[in-house]
């Protein structure tokens, strides 16, 4: 990872600026000490950071997708850090669908945040962890959090196979039932 001589990490920040101007400013300010270079195209980035609010964004008339969705899809195998801001109004339906697909994607880190300050703190922490893992080849220790209780379900009862029936495995050498099928029509 890294840009010029490994000194910079290239990040694609995918955010609807009109929807989340405060979050965008907070993020750019918090990432400055990390020597982050912002990529204009996700294919030039080392890490994808997506921040979603209420708006899906303007759709490209040729593809029918917003830039937010195009960026997410183009991120491919890059580390993907996704943050969802609280709704300040009703979330657009297309964005809701996109967020449900992202949440189901097990290759993306998906987090809800409460405000711009929390967003800035989490992005710095998560990006630092991604960079640590990339340079050391190991997983960094996750912040200590109380473990969630494990919900267990009782084991399903074993299904006993049905007994074999004399017609199971019947083949063409057996007589045809009632002679209703002729060899011309097939049965």
Determine the Cα–Cα distance for residues 60 and 72; give it in Å rounded to an integer. Answer: 14
For the chain, domain boundaries:
1-88
- Under the banding of pLDDT at 50, 70 and 90, the label for residue 4 is very low
Question: Residues near 101 by Cβ (< 8 Å), separated by ≥ 6?
Answer: none
User: Per CATH, is 1-88 categorized as 3.40.50?
Assistant: yes
CB 31 within 8 A of CB 24: no
* Close Cβ partners of 159 (under 8 Å, ≥ 6 residues apart): none
pTM for this one?
Answer: 0.70
Q: Is the pLDDT of residue 186 over 50?
A: yes
What count of other Cβ atoms lies within 10 Å of the Cβ of residue 99?
A: 17
pLDDT, one tens digit per residue, over 104-146 is: 988 899 999 999 999 999 999 999 999 888 777 765 554 445 5
| End-to-end CA separation in angstroms for the chain | 66
Q: What is the pLDDT of residues 76-108, one digit of tens each?
A: 999 999 999 998 889 999 999 999 999 998 889
């Amino acid at each position: 990872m890294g840009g010029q001589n490994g000194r910079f990490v290239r990040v694609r920040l995918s955010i609807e600026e009109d929807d989340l101007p405060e979050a965008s400013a907070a993020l750019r300010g918090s990432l400055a000490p990390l020597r982050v270079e912002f990529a204009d195209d996700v294919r030039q980035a080392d890490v994808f950071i997506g921040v979603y609010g209420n708006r899906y964004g303007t759709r490209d008339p040729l593809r029918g997708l917003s830039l937010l969705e195009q960026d997410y899809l183009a991120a491919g195998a890059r580390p993907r850090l996704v943050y969802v801001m609280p709704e300040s109004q009703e979330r657009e339906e297309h964005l809701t669908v996109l967020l449900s697909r992202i949440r189901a994607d097990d290759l993306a880190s998906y987090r809800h945040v409460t405000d711009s300050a929390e967003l800035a703190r989490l992005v710095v922490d998560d990006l630092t962890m991604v960079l640590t893992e990339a340079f050391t080849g190991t997983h960094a220790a996750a912040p200590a959090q109380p473990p969630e209780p494990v919900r267990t379900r009782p084991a399903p009862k074993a299904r006993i196979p049905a007994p074999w029936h004399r017609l199971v495995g019947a083949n063409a050498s057996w007589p045809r039932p009632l002679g209703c099928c002729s060899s011309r029509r097939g049965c």
